[in-house]
């Protein structure tokens, strides 16, 4: 029997204690789509409201009027839901377990400590004049202060924009420019895999961009104590800012639809866009999905290995778990340092019961061999999760056997920056698993598969994945560009949210995500627009033209394959290849490093000058037998040259 046909039934022990069993899933799901108003009116109560809502759902996917509002007349504060409301019952319980890059460094922060830290820092931000509604940019390492800064923004009604610590100075600058941030919060350096990451230096360099005009203050957390440049008129140490700050800070009363954060993500065209997430619906959805999908119970030690710079870190390290009063583990380092058994070491050290990671990490460990987990036992684990890209059945099986000791269900969670929370996933007490399938929709989520014309396809079939109606965690807009939001997600298929993903549905109604159908690639679970990499490439003087495609990569899922036509006066060489790779790392960040560069005298274009990416994708994937019709090309001989000089032999 192939892996894909194997079925892993819900373990009976788990079904007994799980929040949701099969029957409950079916009845709640039915209610959630047949009567969303009543369903979400009830579910919304899981959050503490300052003023309760009377309206529940007011949403339109009509491309002439995309407007999404949930619980719109209610008011609340996200940080109160993550902190204040837990103080009485579990103030002295651990909110955050922090595990440093160095295995000898760790720390536990209780809910009470976190509450006071957040209040102190919120008061510090107020001293800098931060006001409700303004965007504060964070560029932080994986330390508890990253969560503190996010929650402090939420407390005073500022909107945080977290920029992943692996992005380049240019990426910081462009995000600061599009959000008009006055304040940036960073750290002297980060630590990953024993190496320093020059965070403050990157911020300094980003701010030399003359188009950055708004930044008045850079708050710097001392993490490593490394040498950094200092601008007296602009820079302020975190510890100085909070020195005399009070450890109580009254929370701002926010409307449900006031923004909580923006988060930049890549699309198929143009520069990354800032997705806007609002407060009420997001909190309801993040906390509910966290509780049910990870079957979170008090006493669990929950670890999501993502970085707070991604949406997974927002919803499933910070907001979801903390809203639920959970213990959430935050890891500063990487799975391979100081050795490849680090994940197992951390699980054993802290008694982790729920582990949520990405297929790329699983595949990287798998490549080290079956005994990579060394002497670690991992007995405490009871549930595993996967996110960010399709998990191939082999990796699923290895994760199940070698990390989870063949006893932990795996929740393969499909979602996106835009969706705010998980949309398609097993519920561990309700869903029988098939390796490689994200299985079934969460409550309130109505997926459908459509053909190119937008016709809804029934039964077992394959098509483009759309969602037919709104759910509370959904992103509401693109910061400063609602029209782009409408164009990107609601104009391809009328009245539907288009995900950009292809998907198959089997006879049991299970969903199998097949990957992006647009010009977005997914490299190690990091989402990247091919257009972004191309525009970085052509900014180099040696490059006349560049085309970027994804190709299958054993560990990364997809690798980045770049075809380059050189400008006059430049000759192909290995040194130039290296230089171009370095160039992209500098322009965007290390995650965008091309894996393969192929020089080519020309690119396959139609007579109207459009690059035929389909052909480039096939050549990169070494599927040169099935190139299809090349007769419409302006110069078909280009293809022969590309095949003959394919960069991966
Ligand atoms: O292609 C899908 C893939 O990641 C994309 C979303 O990327 P991003 O916004 O960066 O969010 C990643 C973390 C939520 C999707 O369009 N993707 C995410 N999860 C899965 C997945 N593909 C297959 N299976 C998944 N579980």
pLDDT tens string 123-163:
999 999 999 999 999 999 999 999 999 999 999 999 999 99
List the domain boundaries for the chain: 524-645
Q: What's the 87 CA to ligand 1 centre distance in angstroms?
A: 35
Is pLDDT of 58 > 60? yes
**Of 341, 287, 246, whose CA–CA distance to 86 is shortest?**
287
* CA 328/CA 300 separation, integer angstroms: 9
Alpha carbon nearest to ligand 1 atom 4, residue: 388
Q: What's the 452 CA to ligand 1 centre distance in angstroms?
A: 21
Strands (E), 115-272: 135-139, 159-162, 183-187, 190-192, 195-197, 217-221, 235-237, 254-255, 259-265
Q: What's the 526 CA to ligand 1 centre distance in angstroms?
A: 9
Strands (E), 307-409: 327-331, 354-357, 383-387
Is pLDDT of 636 > 90? no
**Of 530, 479, 472, whose CA–CA distance to 500 is shortest?**
530
Alpha carbon nearest to ligand 1 atom 26, residue: 414
- Please give the pLDDT value at position 634: 84
- Average pLDDT of span 544-570: 96
The fourth-level CATH superfamily of domain 524-645 is ANL, C-terminal domain (3.30.300.30)
User: Which residues does ligand 1 sit against, CB inside 6 Å?
Assistant: 265, 311-312, 386-390, 412-417, 438, 499-501, 513, 515-516, 522, 527
Q: What's the 390 CA to ligand 1 centre distance in angstroms?
A: 8
Q: Which of 304, 388, 424, 499 to mutate to test the pocket of ligand 1 (most atoms within 8 A of CB)?
A: 388
User: Is residue 48 helix, strand or coil?
Assistant: coil
Is pLDDT of 372 > 60? yes
- Please give the pLDDT value at position 647: 81
Integer CA distances (angstroms), 446 to 36, 204, 326, 330, 497, in order = 11, 45, 29, 32, 10
* CA 348/CA 593 separation, integer angstroms: 34
Q: What's the 358 CA to ligand 1 centre distance in angstroms?
A: 10
Residue 410 and residue 385 in contact, taking contact as beta carbons nearer than 8 Å: yes
**Is 475 marked within a binding site?**
no
Alpha carbon nearest to ligand 1 atom 6, residue: 416
**Residue 1: pLDDT band with limits 50, 70, 90:** very low
Q: What's the 465 CA to ligand 1 centre distance in angstroms?
A: 12
pLDDT, tens only, 200-250: 999 999 999 999 999 999 999 999 999 999 999 999 999 999 999 999 999
Alpha carbon nearest to ligand 1 atom 5, residue: 416
Alpha carbon nearest to ligand 1 atom 14, residue: 416
- Please give the pLDDT value at position 649: 62
Is pLDDT of 628 > 90? no
Q: What's the 515 CA to ligand 1 centre distance in angstroms?
A: 8
pLDDT, tens only, 277-329: 999 999 999 999 999 999 999 999 999 999 999 999 999 999 999 999 999 99
pLDDT, tens only, 256-275: 999 999 999 998 888 899 99
**Is 397 marked within a binding site?**
no
Share of the chain above pLDDT 90, in %: 93
- Please give the pLDDT value at position 4: 53
CB count within 10 Å of CB 601 equals 12
**Is 193 marked within a binding site?**
yes
**Is 192 marked within a binding site?**
yes
- Please give the pLDDT value at position 624: 86
Q: Is the ipTM here above 0.90?
A: yes
Number of the ligand 1 atom closest to the C-alpha atom of 310: 10
pTM of the complete model: 0.96
Average pLDDT, the chain: 96
**Residue 635: pLDDT band with limits 50, 70, 90:** confident
- Please give the pLDDT value at position 142: 98
Residue 152 and residue 241 in contact, taking contact as beta carbons nearer than 8 Å: no
Q: Which of 415, 424, 523 to mutate to test the pocket of ligand 1 (most atoms within 8 A of CB)?
A: 415
Residue 277 and residue 261 in contact, taking contact as beta carbons nearer than 8 Å: yes
pLDDT, tens only, 482-541: 999 999 999 999 999 999 999 999 999 999 999 999 999 999 999 999 999 999 999 999
Q: Which of 426, 527, 556, 591 to mutate to test the pocket of ligand 1 (most atoms within 8 A of CB)?
A: 527
**Is 431 marked within a binding site?**
no
Cα 273 to the center of its chain, rounded Å: 14
* CA 499/CA 468 separation, integer angstroms: 11
Is pLDDT of 3 > 50? no
């Amino acid at each position: 029997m192939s892996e894909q046909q194997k079925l892993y039934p819900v373990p009976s022990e788990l079904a007994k204690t799980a929040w949701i069993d099969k029957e409950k899933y079916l009845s709640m799901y039915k209610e959630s789509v047949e009567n969303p108003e009543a369903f979400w009116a009830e579910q919304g109560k899981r959050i503490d409201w300052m003023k309760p809502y009377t309206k529940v759902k007011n949403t339109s996917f009509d491309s002439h009027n995309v407007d999404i509002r949930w619980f719109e007349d209610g008011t609340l504060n996200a940080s109160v839901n993550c902190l204040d409301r837990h103080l009485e019952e579990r103030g002295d319980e651990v909110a955050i377990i922090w595990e440093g890059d160095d295995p000898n460094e760790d720390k536990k922060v209780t809910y009470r400590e976190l509450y006071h830290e957040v209040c102190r820092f919120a008061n510090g931000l107020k001293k800098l004049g931060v006001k409700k509604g303004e965007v504060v940019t964070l560029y932080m390492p994986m330390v508890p202060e990253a969560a503190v800064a996010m929650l402090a923004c939420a407390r005073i009604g500022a909107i945080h924009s977290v920029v992943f610590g692996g992005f380049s100075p240019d990426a910081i600058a462009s995000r600061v420019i599009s959000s008009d941030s006055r304040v940036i919060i960073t750290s002297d350096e980060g630590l990953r895999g024993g190496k320093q990451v020059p965070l403050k230096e990157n911020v300094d360099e980003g701010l030399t961009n003359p188009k950055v005009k708004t930044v008045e203050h850079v708050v710097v957390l001392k993490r490593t104590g490394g040498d950094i440049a200092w601008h007296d008129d602009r820079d302020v140490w975190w510890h100085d800012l909070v020195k005399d700050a009070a450890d109580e800070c009254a929370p701002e009363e926010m409307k449900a639809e006031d923004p909580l954060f923006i988060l930049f993500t890549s699309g198929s065209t143009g520069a990354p866009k800032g997705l806007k997430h609002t407060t009420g619906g997001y909190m309801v959805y993040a906390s509910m999905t966290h509780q049910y999908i990870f079957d979170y119970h008090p006493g669990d030690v929950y670890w999501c290995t993502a970085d707070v710079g991604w949406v997974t870190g927002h919803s499933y390290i910070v907001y979801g778990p903390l809203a639920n009063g959970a213990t959430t583990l935050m890891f500063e380092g990487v799975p391979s340092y100081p050795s490849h058994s680090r994940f197992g070491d951390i699980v054993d050290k802290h008694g982790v019961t729920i582990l949520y990671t990405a297929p790329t990490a699983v595949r990287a460990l798998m490549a080290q061999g079956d005994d990579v987990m060394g002497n670690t036992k991992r007995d405490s684990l009871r549930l595993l999760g996967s996110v960010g890209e399709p998990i191939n059945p082999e990796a699923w099986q290895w994760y199940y056997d070698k990390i989870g000791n063949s006893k932990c269900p795996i929740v393969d969670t499909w979602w996106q920056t835009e969706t705010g929370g998980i949309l398609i996933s097993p519920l561990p007490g309700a869903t029988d698993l098939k390796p490689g399938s994200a299985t079934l929709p969460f409550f309130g989520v109505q997926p459908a598969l459509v053909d190119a014309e937008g016709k809804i396809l029934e039964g077992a079939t394959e098509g483009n994945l759309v969602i037919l109606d709104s759910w509370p965690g959904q992103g509401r807009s693109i910061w400063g560009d609602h029209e782009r939001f409408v164009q990107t997600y609601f104009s391809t298929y009328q009245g539907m949210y288009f995900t950009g993903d292809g998907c198959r549905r089997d006879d049991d109604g299970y969903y199998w995500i097949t990957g992006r159908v647009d010009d977005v690639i997914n490299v190690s679970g990091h989402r990247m627009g091919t257009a972004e990499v191309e525009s970085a490439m052509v900014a180099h003087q040696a490059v006349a033209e560049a085309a970027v495609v994804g190709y299958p990569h054993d560990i990364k899922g997809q690798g980045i394959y770049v075809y380059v036509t050189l400008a006059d006066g430049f000759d192909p060489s290995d040194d130039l290849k290296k230089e171009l790779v370095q160039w992209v790392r500098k322009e965007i960040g290390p995650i965008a490093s091309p894996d393969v560069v192929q020089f080519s005298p020309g690119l396959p274009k139609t007579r109207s000058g459009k690059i035929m990416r389909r052909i480039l994708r096939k050549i990169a994937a070494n599927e040169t037998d099935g190139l299809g019709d090349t007769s419409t090309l302006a110069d078909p001989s280009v293809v022969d040259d590309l095949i003959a000089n394919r960069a991966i032999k």
